[in-house]
Structure 1
């Protein structure tokens, strides 16, 4: 007998693994000696243990069988997708079984009349985007890890990314989710309606639950009309007030609205320019802020003229100091390559500490300034980079100093998260809570909210078998 992370007594892993191998076969259930060089940690710096077994189901029925057996033997399970998370949510803890959805990969159906796509949970985001494109639609979610991250992981973390300002988070792209509960029961998965007001919304409950409430196996995704015109510009800004002014006026005046509004502080832009000289700087000279603005619409001729006229007005008004408008798809891709450079962080800035926090848009500039000041007061030689999806208040802060100690890392995190709590921000804008932020959740959630989360967890997973030690402390 042993205890899992909730203190629930378990019967040990050997009987559970034997039962899993007997029911599903050695092709589905692997033992540690069969893992090879497989990694069980995500993109965060969270340490990961070696699982006692690896389950790679091919169907929802096999997932249900696996969870029924784990429920019977009180065996804890962590679900894994593309392993691109930043909060340790998919990292294996001691004594756990890893359940990978890598074999549940593919497009089940595209319904062009309903504008939906049904996909298996292990399908990479980029494959979904490409399938939508080929069908004449757009799948709105987009983020830098698109080639590796999977739809199940996107749902489980309620991923955000580059287009939240117009299309919303991952949960806003969902019409239904099929999932397997801790006891092996299967729920949802086939409904294509936008309007479905039939009681508690289990779809939205699972979005952002990080594998702690159920294992997501497939989803019905909402497709959007494919933009016929995409206008993109890189702008140099004089101050933060100008940044928020540009955002407000763009949302008000651009016929197609704003589909992306990415803001980069000079620390980030300068760092990328120095470390990745192959990326062409869109503007000459230095500016207080840089904005990548995108507008997607249906009328190319009208949109291009309106976009250029709007930026000209902003230049004349002094809101923008300088701007470069993409004249081709390759120009736009070059702009986005600068913003997507964090995918190169493992090479460019090893040993970094990354923060994913959010504030009201009006507060984000002050929050970034105060954060930078507090960090530099204690670590004046540190590299500090700030950028984010400012249209939705999301800031990314990256801090690195050679030869970190564990205590220094803890101190840096304390500075940033205490400021976030003081200003009423969120300790996780889009990357989730996982294991990394488990003790920080109370900075952004009230005691009553935490109690409600615990009650939901215990109702759906009374033995705390699904990803224990993540999201909510039990």
Structure 2
């Protein structure tokens, strides 16, 4: 089918506003994607599950590959498209259909942004606790398709733990509606798990039932300096025990990252002096600030008495809590010397210190003038490694240094960002041949024509 005919069919299905030509699509904001990857044959903007199904039926009949788009905030090229492909954007499916305070669930369309849901449930005394820096752009459908993680996984889990049910459309237009609202439902296979984390390769998520939590009544945040990695691990266990399950975040910054985000042109002045090897942002959330605040401070004082903490800055207001979080979240400082290579890995906490030393040693041997910044959600086993060598052509060599040591540690090349195109050559380091074969079997069963987000996650069979 030629493009003019396809455009006419899509306008019949979606209306004039539902179809964007390739030239106009290329001028749209790219999110976190490079502008040169925002290519397509046409861009379709359905408003409902039925319209998504109609578009996919048409594309299936005509053998047209389809790339689903959410908020375009992914970092592994999972939403890249080519001029031969149709982009299917869920941006107009942005309705929050229901908020049920008694059941503590929300039903939302896939194009709702994470921040929009967070703000909508607050007046009900509820929270949607998944949180990440791209909250204002990232969509719930994209969060589910990539199994997003973020800042508070240590307490509330990944996106997978927040999804009770969902609706998805298969490559041939079949609608699979499994909008379960119950926490316990063991009636056969849990089909929603097929689509969560599959990056749009098995189906297009259109609606979700999401598990909410009670809105915390207290928040306590501290930035602490630590003398060595053993103290970091000891503090994590100590704070979790001392706070009785209230620990909601444990973010660790290696020295170079902390110094980067607390020196000009960064906006934050250093709350703690430079010079320690590790800094950690520790957060607790609870039910009573008058009780939880002293408990939090007492836990820090006990850790300091043990020698695990060298110095600490404790926030005394919501503004100061936000300021400490802003320091940790100022990752754009890593682009100060030019656009860097970013990595998202996970591995056992006991192996982290040796892994980082190995990576940094290999980088220094190859590029003496390189920059390497390490930080991450250490309580979840997740590290972000950001490397700048000064040459885009060094990417593959840096990838080998970062990814190769993970295999013997049984680590993962992707903690929370997915595989997309970028990590596809390294999937075998984290998944066995049998696992990859089973992934191929699922792909073949649900999308035998290889039309949904083709080329992502798995190598062509």
Structure 1 position 316 matched with structure 2 position 305: yes
State the SS of the aligned residue for 1:35. Answer: helix
Residue deviations 1:66-121 (CA, integer Å, cap 9, x gap): 00101111110000011110000011134110011111112111000000011111
Normalization by structure 1: what TM-score? 0.93
* Offset, 1:441: 0.5
Match of 2:370 in 1: 382
Match of 1:37 in 2: 27
State the SS of the aligned residue for 1:261. Answer: strand
Normalization by structure 2: what TM-score? 0.96
Match of 2:341 in 1: 353
Structure 1 contact 354–399 (Cα < 8 Å) conserved: yes
Structure 2 matches for 1:146-295, cutoff 5 A?
Answer: 146-295=135-284
Residue deviations 1:103-154 (CA, integer Å, cap 9, x gap): 1112111000000011111111111111122221111100011111111111
Distance 1:45 1:440 in 2: 22
Structure 1 position 410 matched with structure 2 position 387: no
State the SS of the aligned residue for 1:241. Answer: helix
State the SS of the aligned residue for 1:27. Answer: helix
Distance 1:349 1:295 in 2: 35
Structure 1 contact 49–94 (Cα < 8 Å) conserved: no
* Offset, 1:22: 3.4
Match of 2:9 among 3, 19, 30: 19
Residues 270, 156 of structure 1: CA spacing in aligned structure 2 closer, same or farther, 3 A cutoff? same
State the SS of the aligned residue for 2:261. Answer: helix
* Offset, 1:344: 5.5
Match of 1:462 in 2: 448
Return 5+ residue gaps in structure 1 as ranges. 1-10
Distance 2:192 2:35 in 1: 28
Distance 2:121 2:399 in 1: 40
Distance 1:432 1:13 in 2: 32
Distance 1:46 1:118 in 2: 33
Return 5+ residue gaps in structure 2 as ranges. none
Match of 1:362 in 2: 350
Distance 1:400 1:236 in 2: 25
Match of 1:90 in 2: 79
Residues 285, 345 of structure 1: CA spacing in aligned structure 2 closer, same or farther, 3 A cutoff? closer
State the SS of the aligned residue for 1:320. Answer: coil
State the SS of the aligned residue for 2:263. Answer: helix
Match of 1:305 in 2: 294
State the SS of the aligned residue for 1:391. Answer: helix
* Offset, 1:44: 5.1
* Offset, 1:48: 1.7
Structure 1 position 451 matched with structure 2 position 437: yes
Distance 1:252 1:418 in 2: 35
Match of 1:424 in 2: 410
Residues 460, 129 of structure 1: CA spacing in aligned structure 2 closer, same or farther, 3 A cutoff? same
* Offset, 1:214: 0.7
State the SS of the aligned residue for 2:345. Answer: strand
* Offset, 1:60: 1.0
Greater mean deviation of Cα atoms: 244-253 or 280-289: 280-289
Match of 1:473 in 2: 459
Aligned residues between the structures: 460
Q: CA RMSD in A?
A: 1.7
Structure 1 contact 16–75 (Cα < 8 Å) conserved: no
Distance 2:74 2:17 in 1: 27
Distance 2:341 2:102 in 1: 46
Residues 268, 36 of structure 1: CA spacing in aligned structure 2 closer, same or farther, 3 A cutoff? closer
* Offset, 1:24: 2.9
* Offset, 1:25: 3.2
Distance 2:366 2:380 in 1: 30
State the SS of the aligned residue for 1:433. Answer: coil
Greater mean deviation of Cα atoms: 408-417 or 14-23: 14-23
Residues 280, 43 of structure 1: CA spacing in aligned structure 2 closer, same or farther, 3 A cutoff? same
Distance 2:392 2:159 in 1: 36
Match of 2:384 among 396, 411, 421: 396
* Offset, 1:42: 5.5
Distance 1:213 1:33 in 2: 28
Residues 260, 49 of structure 1: CA spacing in aligned structure 2 closer, same or farther, 3 A cutoff? closer
Match of 1:3 in 2: none
Distance 2:395 2:205 in 1: 34
